[in-house]
């Protein structure tokens, strides 16, 4: 499998492509468990991270992944850059590319920003989260974590609970989980669901307590208070009462069930403080697997030969898809 | 099966077409036993010896060597496996994906590592394997056992234990399998 960019889960071409990444991740998990967790695979390559939004774990995860592949890393954060002086996204991307980078990891608050960057530069572009759109490497590490705990995703019942509307993680997860054969149920109040779910391969519930007993995986989303511009909930406490994973609700889960969260957690809002530390919680595993998954993605993008097709062709290709 | 060699031999994605059978099943069996005796002789027994098969073709050969070593010395050497994909020098020239997860459980410091592969060709896989081993420890010595040495070396690497020396053309492909060894070509 060769891919030029990873902008959305669909770029992997369905279940086979996702499985390829997960298989490759197995090899990188072995690498990260060694006393010297580093391989020379991407020596001489440079990976730049271009983050227009705050992030600790994703940025550190990508940079750790690049370093463990022996690539050089460059870090660009908006707070300390010429974006403050009014530089456009395009100029910033072209400037970074002119310094000789092979991959650019982009996070942006606007949906579609990484797609635009991919059209401007020849370097491989990885979407590290764009607006409400997608966060493909998060979905891949979620799939890997579920596969590690439960053996596979086929036939599983996965509940994605919370603020689906503002969640790029939910969009990528729905695409990846259903591609691998899981049945996904979105559990949220109507105001926190997207206006239209047409074409989403999901079921919807507004009542966590009725669907919880059948869940193999409970995936809690963070309440994204910084993205809420209107009053979507009466109070946060009411949300916690109806949709938070309390100790009492967690006790009704099967012993083999898995509790996940993309982080950062609001303990006491979507998840009770002590529930995050139960054996069923795979939240730390998710972070740990994130490095290996991102190593696999960078290796696939930079280590597998054929160069990216020229920019003009790519634009036509993208126009054809749209 | 010489999957690694097959994948890297043009035309890419072609099919291996065998032309000549160069070793029969019995020949393979005898070669394994002779190599097992040589390994024991060279190392005065099997103390501190670790057997590591290279993914994927070398693993089957290593397992057969392990069985022969056990039959001769009553010492059981678990076969460990190494995939050298991330250490190759042709990453970026063509797709190089690992065939399987590396499984090295022993501490290699001060040990004698016997690397096992099916076919020795340019020597680049062995170069990569030597670099990879360095990340797992510092063996006292590394020895190389291959079923077929087909020549065309591009690096100063030589085997310690050889099943058969087989003169080949560069564009030919050697296939080591359970029933013997075939020489042939890749065809579209």
This prediction has a pTM of 0.88
Cβ pair B75, B43 in contact under 8 A: no
Tell me the pLDDT tens digit for each residue of A175-216.
999 999 999 999 999 999 999 999 999 999 999 999 999 999
Distance from B34 to chain A by nearest Cα, in Å?
34
Task: DSSP for A282-321, please give it.
Answer: -HHHHHHHHHHHHHHHHHHHHSS-SPPPPHHHHHHHHHHH
In this predicted structure, what is the pLDDT of residue A307?
Answer: 45
Distance from A23 to chain B by nearest Cα, in Å?
9
Contact B86 A299 (CB under 8 A): yes
Residues of chain A with CATH 3.40.50.1370: 9-135+287-310, 136-283
Which numeric CATH code is attached to B3-9+45-177? Answer: 3.40.50.2020
Tell me the pLDDT tens digit for each residue of A103-114.
999 999 999 999
CA A297 to chain CA mean position, Å: 12
Phi-psi region of A14 (alpha: psi -120 to 50; beta: other; left: phi over 0): left
In this predicted structure, what is the pLDDT of residue A40?
Answer: 93
CA A89 to chain CA mean position, Å: 22
In this predicted structure, what is the pLDDT of residue A78?
Answer: 77
pLDDT reading at A20 higher than 50:
yes
Contact A40 B95 (CB under 8 A): no
In this predicted structure, what is the pLDDT of residue B91?
Answer: 76
Q: How many CB atoms lie within 10 A of CB B106?
A: 15
Taking only residues 67 to 106 of chain B, the set having a beta carbon closer than 8 angstroms to any beta carbon of chain A reads 83, 85-87, 91-98, 100-103
Give yes or no for B56 touching A (CB within 8 A).
no
In this predicted structure, what is the pLDDT of residue A322?
Answer: 34
Nearest CB partner across the interface for A305, out of B83, B93, B98: B93
Q: How far apart are CA B35 and CA A225, in angstroms?
A: 68
Q: How far apart are CA B50 and CA B68, in angstroms?
A: 14
pLDDT reading at A228 higher than 70:
no
Cβ pair A226, A264 in contact under 8 A: no
Inter-helix orientation angle A168-179/A15-32, to 10°: 110
Contact A302 B92 (CB under 8 A): yes
What residues of A are in contact with residue B96 (Cβ under 8 Å)? Answer: 303-305
Nearest CB partner across the interface for B135, out of A2, A29, A34: A34
Which numeric CATH code is attached to A136-283? Answer: 3.40.50.1370
Q: How far apart are CA A146 and CA A8, in angstroms?
A: 20
Tell me the pLDDT tens digit for each residue of B79-107.
999 999 999 887 767 667 888 899 999 99
Q: Is the CATH code 1.10.3720.10 the one for domain A9-135+287-310? A: no
Nearest CB partner across the interface for A36, out of B94, B101, B135: B135
């Amino acid at each position: 499998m060769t891919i030029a960019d990873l902008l959305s889960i669909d770029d992997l071409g369905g279940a086979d492509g996702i499985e390829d990444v997960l298989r490759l991740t197995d090899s990188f998990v072995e690498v990260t468990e060694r006393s010297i967790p580093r391989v020379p695979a991407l020596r001489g390559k440079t990976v730049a991270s271009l983050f227009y939004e705050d992030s600790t774990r994703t940025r550190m995860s990508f940079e750790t992944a690049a370093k463990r592949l022996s690539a050089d890393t460059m870090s660009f954060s908006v707070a300390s850059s010429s974006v403050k002086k009014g530089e456009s996204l395009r100029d910033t991307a072209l400037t970074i590319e002119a310094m000789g980078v092979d991959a650019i990891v982009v996070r942006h608050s606007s949906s579609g920003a990484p797609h635009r960057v991919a059209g401007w530069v020849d370097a491989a572009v990885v979407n590290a989260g764009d607006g409400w759109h997608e966060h493909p490497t998060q979905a891949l590490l979620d799939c890997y974590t579920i596969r590690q705990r439960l053996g596979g995703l086929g036939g599983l019942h996965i509940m994605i609970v919370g603020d689906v509307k503002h969640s790029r993680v939910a969009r990528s997860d729905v695409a990846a989980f259903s591609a691998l054969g899981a049945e996904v149920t979105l559990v949220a109040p109507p105001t926190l669901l997207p206006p239209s779910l047409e074409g989403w391969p999901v079921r919807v519930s507004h009542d966590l307590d009725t669907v919880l007993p059948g869940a193999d995986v409970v995936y809690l989303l963070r309440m994204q208070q910084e993205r809420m511009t209107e009053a979507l909930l009466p109070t946060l406490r009411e949300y916690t009462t109806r949709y938070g994973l309390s100790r009492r609700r967690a006790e009704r889960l099967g012993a083999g069930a898995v509790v996940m969260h993309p982080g950062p957690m609001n303990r006491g809002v979507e998840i009770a403080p002590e529930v995050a530390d139960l054996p069923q919680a795979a939240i730390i595993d998710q972070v740990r697997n994130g490095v290996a998954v991102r190593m696999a993605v960078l290796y696939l993008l930079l280590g597998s030969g054929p160069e990216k097709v020229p920019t003009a062709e790519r634009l036509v290709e993208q126009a054809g898809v749209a | 099966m010489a999957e690694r060699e097959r994948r890297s031999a043009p035309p890419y994605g072609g099919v291996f077409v065998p032309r000549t059978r160069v070793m029969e099943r019995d020949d393979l069996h005898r070669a394994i036993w002779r190599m097992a005796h040589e390994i024991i002789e060279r190392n005065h027994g099997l103390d501190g010896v670790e057997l590591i098969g290279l993914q994927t073709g070398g693993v089957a050969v290593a397992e057969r060597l392990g069985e022969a070593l056990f039959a001769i010395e009553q010492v059981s050497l678990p076969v460990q496996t190494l995939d050298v994909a991330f250490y190759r020098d042709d990453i970026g020239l063509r797709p190089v994906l690992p065939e399987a997860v590396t499984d090295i459980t022993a501490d290699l410091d001060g040990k004698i590592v016997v690397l096992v592969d099916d076919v020795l060709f340019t020597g680049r896989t062995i170069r990569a394997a030597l670099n990879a081993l360095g990340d797992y420890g510092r063996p006292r010595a590394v020895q190389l056992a291959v079923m077929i040495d087909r020549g065309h070396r591009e690096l100063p690497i030589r085997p310690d234990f050889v099943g058969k020396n087989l003169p080949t053309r560069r564009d030919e492909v050697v296939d080591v399998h359970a029933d013997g060894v075939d020489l042939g070509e890749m065809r579209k």
